[in-house]
């Protein structure tokens, strides 16, 4: 299969490396030309347990991709969109939309919520899928990725397909991608309720991500800080309130799952901690910020989530000021 991975951050590099090692034709679309060159010249290194592998995907910078005229003959089967929410610009979505008009399907891997609505302005809804994953990875350099925790991934249509015929064609293509992901060593299943799955994961991220970023600790340490537990619980319960107001059904054992993710990914630096450490903007607007926005529509106030939001926004502002 011909697969393009757009966004060479931790999840993008992990997917590109493992799919290429499993024999798929992979092209990575990077932000910088420097990163594309590093991958082309030296390959994409994957560290997994005690093993190290070198994958050889093709790499191209977004600036070059923009210059290519989309042609059906070269259109990939899949675009795996792995940029963070803050990098989902109109320009990027417009370029990807042109490829999707040639028959390509797009699978969006963003954390949080809100991206489906933005993508649907550029990509036909019938070609748009979303993924929710708990894979853990850390980018060590421009061309080295460390697979820090094996997780699970659910994929499915971003918006439920209408016609039965369309549904069948879609499912066949999704199953083909799932089989490629299985061969690459990922645990993946198909879902027909991605909105619900995204919200369930959102509540996990709304507890773990801001707290790990503020306290500068890996996920597992949250469970060892006794004074923190009531705050974790408040963040979670406010999330439940917002989800119910939005008519989203949550898994009954979701609180247990929050704790389980901390245990299972104990040594992981959450994506928000990685962003803060690197001085990058975070995904707070699409995680706790998205909860606040949903709550506002129903006249709800989420005190704990609002405090997390303001603290992370303040860190971002401070980093911007010291970078000026
Ligand atoms: O999704 C994650 C993230 O870091 O964004 C978790 C599940 C918290 C794993 O680190």
82 in contact with ligand 1, CB cutoff 6 A: no
**C-beta of residue 8 within 8 angstroms of C-beta of residue 20:** no
Question: Among 300, 233, 285, which residue's Cα sits nearest to residue 88?
Answer: 285
Atom 4 of ligand 1, nearest CA residue: 270
Residues of the chain with pLDDT under 70: 72-73, 161-166
Helix (H, G, I), strand (E, B) or coil at 80: strand
Q: Number of structural domains, the chain?
A: 2
CA of 44 to the centre of ligand 1 (A): 23
Atom 5 of ligand 1, nearest CA residue: 271
205 in contact with ligand 1, CB cutoff 6 A: yes
pLDDT at residue 249 in the model: 96
Mutate to test the pocket of ligand 1, among 204, 239, 284 (most ligand atoms within 8 A of CB): 204
pLDDT tens digits for range 79-105:
999 999 999 999 999 999 999 988 899
User: Do residues 35 and 181 share a domain?
Assistant: yes
Range of the domain at 249: 195-323
pLDDT at residue 188 in the model: 98
User: Do residues 186 and 199 share a domain?
Assistant: no
200 in contact with ligand 1, CB cutoff 6 A: no
User: Do residues 317 and 222 share a domain?
Assistant: yes
Atom 2 of ligand 1, nearest CA residue: 270
pLDDT at residue 258 in the model: 96
Q: What is the pTM of this model?
A: 0.93
pLDDT at residue 221 in the model: 98
**C-beta of residue 74 within 8 angstroms of C-beta of residue 94:** no
User: Do residues 165 and 201 share a domain?
Assistant: no
User: Do residues 180 and 128 share a domain?
Assistant: yes
pLDDT at residue 292 in the model: 98
pLDDT at residue 140 in the model: 95
pLDDT at residue 149 in the model: 85
User: Do residues 201 and 102 share a domain?
Assistant: no
pLDDT at residue 165 in the model: 59
pLDDT at residue 72 in the model: 65
């Amino acid at each position: 299969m011909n697969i393009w991975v757009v966004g060479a951050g931790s999840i993008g590099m992990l997917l590109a490396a493992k799919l290429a090692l499993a024999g798929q034709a992979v092209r990575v679309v990077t932000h910088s030309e420097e990163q594309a060159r590093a991958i082309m010249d030296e390959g994409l290194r994957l560290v997994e347990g005690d093993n190290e592998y070198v994958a050889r995907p093709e790499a191209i910078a977004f600036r070059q991709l923009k210059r290519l005229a989309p042609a059906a003959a070269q259109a990939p089967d899949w675009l795996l969109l792995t940029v963070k929410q803050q990098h989902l610009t109109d320009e990027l979505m417009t370029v990807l939309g042109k490829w999707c008009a040639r028959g390509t399907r797009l699978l969006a891997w963003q954390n949080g919520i809100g991206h489906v609505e933005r993508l649907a302005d550029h990509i036909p809804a019938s070609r748009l899928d979303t993924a929710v994953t708990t894979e853990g990875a850390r980018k060590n350099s421009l061309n080295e990725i460390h697979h820090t925790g094996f997780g699970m991934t659910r994929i499915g249509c971003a918006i439920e397909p209408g016609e039965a015929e369309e549904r069948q064609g879609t499912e066949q293509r999704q199953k083909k991608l799932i089989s490629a992901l299985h061969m690459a060593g990922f645990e993946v299943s198909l879902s027909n309720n991605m909105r619900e799955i995204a919200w369930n994961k959102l509540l996990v991220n709304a507890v773990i991500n801001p707290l790990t970023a503020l306290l500068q600790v890996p996920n597992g340490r949250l469970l060892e800080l006794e004074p923190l537990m009531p705050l974790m619980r408040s963040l979670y319960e406010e999330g439940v309130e917002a989800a119910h107001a939005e008519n989203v059904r949550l898994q009954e054992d979701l609180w247990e799952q929050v704790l389980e993710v901390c245990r299972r990914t104990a040594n992981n630096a959450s994506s928000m901690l990685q962003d803060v450490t690197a001085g990058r903007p975070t995904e707070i607007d699409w995680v706790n910020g998205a909860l606040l926005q949903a709550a506002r529509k129903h006249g709800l106030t989420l005190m704990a989530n609002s405090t997390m939001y303001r603290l992370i926004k303040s860190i971002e502002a401070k980093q911007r000021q010291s970078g000026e």
